[in-house]
Amino acid sequence: MIEIIYGIHAILTLLEHNPQHLLDVYLLKGKNKNSLQPIIQQLEQAGIIIQIASRKWFDEKAAGAIHQGIIARVQAKKQQQLQENDLPALLAQLAMPLLLVLDGVTDPHNLGACLRCADATGVHAVIVPRNRAAPLNATAKKVASGAAETVPLFRITNLTRTLRILQAHNVWIVGTAGEATHTLYQSKLTGPLALVMGEEHVGMRRLTREHCDEIISIPMAGAVSSLNVSVAAGVCLFEAVRQRR
Annotated binding site for S-adenosyl-L-methionine: 198, 218, 227
CA distances from 220 to 19, 30, 98, 136, 215 (A): 44, 46, 25, 31, 16
**Do residues 74 and 17 touch, judged by C-beta distance below 8 A?**
no
Q: Return d(Cα 240, Cα 14) in angstroms, integer.
A: 29
**Do residues 165 and 84 touch, judged by C-beta distance below 8 A?**
yes
User: Which bin fits 216, alpha (ψ -120 to 50), beta or left (φ > 0)?
Assistant: beta
**Do residues 3 and 62 touch, judged by C-beta distance below 8 A?**
no
| CA distance from start to end of the chain | 43
Annotated binding-site members: 198, 218, 227
Q: What sections of the chain are H helices per DSSP?
A: 8-17, 37-45, 55-62, 87-92, 108-120, 138-144, 159-168, 206-210, 229-244
Phi and psi torsions of 66, nearest 5°:
-75, 115
Q: What sections of 145-205 are H helices per DSSP?
A: 159-168
Edge to edge, the sheet with strand 125-129 lists 153-156, 125-129, 98-103, 193-198, 172-176, 214-216
